[in-house]
Amino acid sequence: MTKSRDTKPHIGIFGRRNNGKSSLINALTGQDIAIVSDVAGTTTDPVKKSIEIGGIGPVVMIDTAGIDDSGELGMKRVGKTRDVLKIIDMAILLIAHNEFDDPEKSLVKDFKASDLPYLIIHNKSDEEAINPELSTVIRDKYGVPVVDFSALHPRNIEEVINVVRQTIPETAFRKQTLVGDLISYGDVVLLITPIDIEAPEGRMILPQVQVIRDVLDHDGIAIVCKEREVDVFLRKMSPKPVLVITDSQVFPKADAAVPKDIPLTSFSIVLARQKGDFESYMKGTPHLSELRDGDRVLILESCTHHVSCDDIGRVKIPRWLNNFSGKKLEFEIVAGLNSIPHPITDYAMVIQCGGCMITRRQLQNRLKPAIDAGIPVTNYGMAIAYMHGIYNRAIAPFARNVEDYL
């Protein structure tokens, strides 16, 4: 359950066994949605619960196993609990009975190493209120809020919610626009969306829906057509679109059909700017020209889906890259947020999907080991554009000086 595929902000709740983590979730929601027991260790694996928090909106709460678990199996549970740090936007450390010792201090150290905002709640105040001296020590040493609380009698629940609002970074729930900064009132944005074997039955894929909504949110006009209708539409259209966004797999067709004076990019590149490390993508993409025989390329899909015979990440990109490089390359595909099978330094290149199904923090944490190790990273859309000779045009709407990255 630690493998999240949800774009809502994620909040992890940590603490010792039987400190009331599940009870806190129930108190925050006003519902009995998490199993509560007096038996320590009832929660054995991280469990996700979706709730609504006023001023933030929908969030995913992750109830974790106790950080003081013991034994071989307990250590595995603690390991899974710590894995949650990679996918959350903020943490709540739950203490009780004025215990704040090595398990809590170790976890706070991990929060800081992950640059993770957090707050501390002293639960079970109905049994024992927080010691003012401990509260002062925590505030002075760690500089984080400490709230005395009882999940059993949540009289100050609004105080807890207010502190959560103040702690969670705004970037976690206020999304950066996809194209709103590129358009003005009444501008037309043309979206080219192939309907082929990979298109879901009876609906559109999430990036297409997200872009349509973003265009409407910024008072633009979104027009959608298949690649075969682009020529007809552009001949009849007046005024012409200020931007064309295409599915990456028909990039060459779109490049040929759309006049050069109309900016052209892809859904994947639009998402790359919103969620990924776009600067690192632009620096890393040209390294596709430097791959050598035997190099291992890691392809990261951030969701799990039905794999078609012509899957974009598993089939088309490897085929295009083999043809483009002329080298014998090895490819590994990792779906969702599953573990990468080899040390990151074993890879010559990392190619990340758009990440429409995960949060910005999750995607950036996914790429961070490669970036820190100096491994070039790129994105599906940027890689496809580069291999088809239209990279400059594809990133031009977002890069002030394309030549700086070539």
Q: Where are the domains of the chain?
A: 10-172, 180-269, 282-405
Here the tokens at position 162 are 């207010």
For CA atoms 131, 141, 96, 31, give the dihedral sign.
positive
Q: How far apart are CA 264 and CA 282, in angstroms?
A: 16
Cβ within 8 Å of residue 164, ≥6 positions away: 11, 53, 56, 90, 92, 119
Specify the 3-state DSSP secondary structure of 11: strand
Q: Which CATH class is domain 282-405?
A: alpha beta
Work out the average pLDDT over 288-292: 97
Supply the pLDDT for residue 128: 94
Geometric angle at alpha carbon 219, from 379 and 267, rounded to 5°:
15
Cβ within 8 Å of residue 16, ≥6 positions away: 66, 67, 68, 95, 96, 99, 103
Please confirm whether the linkage preceding 9 is cis (ω < 30° from 0): no
Supply the pLDDT for residue 199: 64
Supply the pLDDT for residue 9: 86
Q: How confident is the model at residue 403 (pLDDT cuts 50, 70, 90)?
A: low
Q: What is the dihedral of CA 8, 14, 20, 23, to 10 degrees?
A: 0
Q: Does domain 10-172 have CATH number 3.40.50.1100?
A: no
The mean predicted confidence, pLDDT, of the chain is 87
Supply the pLDDT for residue 27: 86
pLDDT tens for 38-69 read: 444 444 457 888 888 777 888 889 989 888 87
pLDDT tens for 212-267 read: 999 999 999 999 999 999 999 999 888 899 999 999 889 999 999 999 999 999 99
The predicted model scores a pTM of 0.71
- Give DSSP secondary structure letters for 82-144: HHGGGT-SEEEEEEETT--SHHHHHHHHHHHHTT--EEEEEE-TTTSPPPHHHHHHHHHHH--
Q: How many CA atoms lie within 13 A of 113 on its CB side?
A: 9
Specify the 3-state DSSP secondary structure of 146: strand
Q: How confident is the model at residue 400 (pLDDT cuts 50, 70, 90)?
A: low
Supply the pLDDT for residue 87: 87
Q: How far apart are CA 321 and CA 312, in angstroms?
A: 12
Work out the average pLDDT over 67-94: 85
Domain 180-269, what architecture?
3-Layer(aba) Sandwich (3.40)
Cβ within 8 Å of residue 119, ≥6 positions away: 90, 91, 92, 93, 144, 145, 146, 147, 163, 164, 167
Supply the pLDDT for residue 43: 46
CB 46 within 8 A of CB 81: yes
pLDDT tens for 134-153 read: 999 999 999 998 999 999 89
For 61-79, give one letter per residue: b (16+ CB within 10 A) or e.
bbbbbbbbbeeeebeebbe
Domain 282-405 in the same topology as domain 180-269: yes
